[in-house]
């Protein structure tokens, strides 16, 4: 009988922990926005994302074959080495793109602005704009 209580207590702890984490991270937009933005600020995470994106591109597109089609006849043997060099360049370029502050601002989920824009002052401003617009159409 004591083992049953230990198992039930363990299950309750796991379920309650997951429930709390889900509520705090997934269901509250500001927490999710802050967490995901902080992840992109981490150099190791940016590097992993850049490598993943470029590897996905190279797995979906046969880059050496595409280059071979576009290169002149004398340069066709260089398609494979050129594709490898372009892959390294693409990873570095993607990392640099993800490191830019403008990109990191875009990374923030759109739900973050919704929670801030529903403040009372923004609601008053929107109502005033609607009244002015309605008056301008009526005259």
d(CA 53, CA 59): 10
Q: Mean pLDDT, to the nearest integer, of 89-106?
A: 89
Q: Tell me the percentage of the chain whose pLDDT exceeds 70.
A: 73
Determine, yes or no, domain membership for 135: no
Determine, yes or no, domain membership for 19: yes
The band of 14, judged by pLDDT with boundaries at 50, 70 and 90, is very high
3-class secondary structure per residue, the chain:
CHHHHHHHHHHHHHHHHHHHHHHHHHCCHHHHHHHHHHHHHCHHHHHHHHHHHHHHHHHHCCHHHHHHHHCCHHHHHHHHHHHHHHHHHHHHHHHHHHHCHHHHHHHCCCHHHHHHHCCHHHHHHHHHHHHHHHHHHHC
Determine, yes or no, domain membership for 43: yes
Determine, yes or no, domain membership for 129: no
Q: Count structural domains, the chain.
A: 1
Determine, yes or no, domain membership for 134: no
Taking the model in full, what pTM does it have?
0.56
Determine, yes or no, domain membership for 76: yes
d(CA 17, CA 9): 12
Model pLDDT for residues 34-77, shown as the tens digit of each residue: 777 788 888 999 999 999 999 999 999 999 999 999 999 998 99
Pick the residue with more confidence: 37 or 15?
15
Q: What is the mean pLDDT of the chain?
A: 78
């Amino acid at each position: 009988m004591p083992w049953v209580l230990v198992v039930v207590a363990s299950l309750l702890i796991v379920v309650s922990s997951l429930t709390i984490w889900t509520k705090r991270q997934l269901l509250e937009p500001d927490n999710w926005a802050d967490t995901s933005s902080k992840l992109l600020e981490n150099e190791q995470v940016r590097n992993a994302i850049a490598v993943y994106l470029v590897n996905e591109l190279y797995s979906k597109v046969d880059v050496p074959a595409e280059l071979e089609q576009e290169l002149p006849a004398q340069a066709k043997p260089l398609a494979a080495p050129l594709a490898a060099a372009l892959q390294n360049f693409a990873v570095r370029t993607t990392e640099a793109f993800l490191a830019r502050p403008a990109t990191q601002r875009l990374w923030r989920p759109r739900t973050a602005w919704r929670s801030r824009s529903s403040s009372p002052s923004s609601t008053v401003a929107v109502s005033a704009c609607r009244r002015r617009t309605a008056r301008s159409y009526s005259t």
